[in-house]
Structure 1
Amino acid sequence: METRAPVFTAIALAALGGCEGLRFNSNLGPYSEVRIKAAAVREYTPVQIARYDAITLGFVEAAQCQRRPDEPKPNRRMLVRELKQRTHNLGGNGVVVEACGTATGGFEGCQRYLECRGVAYAVPGRQSRP
């Protein structure tokens, strides 16, 4: 019985080694990529970000337009997720959402319109101020 374990291990390793160039494709890629990028970015308030020696990377914006009644309504949570993704794309790990709301005058063709604006930051791991 004891001699089977090393043989089984060798066969398993050989089989796994044969799958080295194998690629797996699915349509979950873009969706999961957005979720992973957003999860890597933390949302801060202006008071919280002031406690760090954070580096400002730039402004980020996101907007949603509901054109038809059967489409999902724009919501802040989805827009903040997009701000986080854009922050990650700039190399940041923190975002301060400055404003979310409807644009003045609205947008033609949109039953509902929502936009959010924020500032992307590279935030160090430790606070510099209490």
Structure 2
Amino acid sequence: MKRLAASVIAVLLCGCSGVQFNTNWGSYADSRVKAASVREYSMEEIDRYNATSLGLVEASHCQQKPGEREPSRHALVNDLKLRAQRLGGNGLVIEACGKGAAAACERYMECRAIAYAVPERKGSQ
């Protein structure tokens, strides 16, 4: 009986080996993991490390119609973190984040930051 159960399980597992599930969950999770690998620093903090500046990164969001997702600092900072990570960075110093006016936008927000490659620190986070 145990052999039969093991055989049935083996056949089921082999039969499902080619099955693939395609969703957008992977890209969402991937972007969340990448953004989490970038830490936000103040200018004073970044000066304590032998960090290398990788350049300016910018993100903006335009709410074109009422009912659409409103711009938020949190979402824009996550976008900045993804852009910093794509440049090879693991650190970010926010220079400015604010609301503004733009043609065809109900609400508009933009953020600017400097991406950094910060040497790994052992023992603390």
TM-score range, shorter chain: 0.7 to 0.9
Q: Which residue of 1 aligns with 2:116?
A: 121
Structure 2 residue 66 is matched with structure 1 residue 69: yes
Inter-CA distance 96–13: structure 2 relative to 1 (3 Å threshold): farther
Q: Which residue of 2 aligns with 1:91?
A: 88
Provide, for residues 88-120 of structure 1, a one-character-per-residue CA deviation record: whole Å limited to 9, x for no partner.
1111111111100124xx111001100000000
Q: Give 1:19 shift.
A: 5.8
Amino acid at match of 2:33: I
SS of structure 2 residue aligned to 1:100: strand
Structure 2 residue 110 is matched with structure 1 residue 108: no
Q: Which residue of 2 aligns with 1:34?
A: 31
TM norm structure 1: 0.79
- Could you list the runs of 5+ residues in structure 1 that have no partner in the other structure? none
Q: Give runs of aligned pairs for residues 47-66 of structure 1, distance below 5 A.
A: 47-66=44-63
Structure 2: how far apart are the matches of 1:51 and 1:58?
Answer: 18
TM norm structure 2: 0.82
Structure 2: how far apart are the matches of 1:69 and 1:51?
Answer: 44
Identity within the alignment, %? 49
**Number of matched pairs:** 121
Q: Give 1:18 shift.
A: 6.8
Q: Give 1:14 shift.
A: 8.1
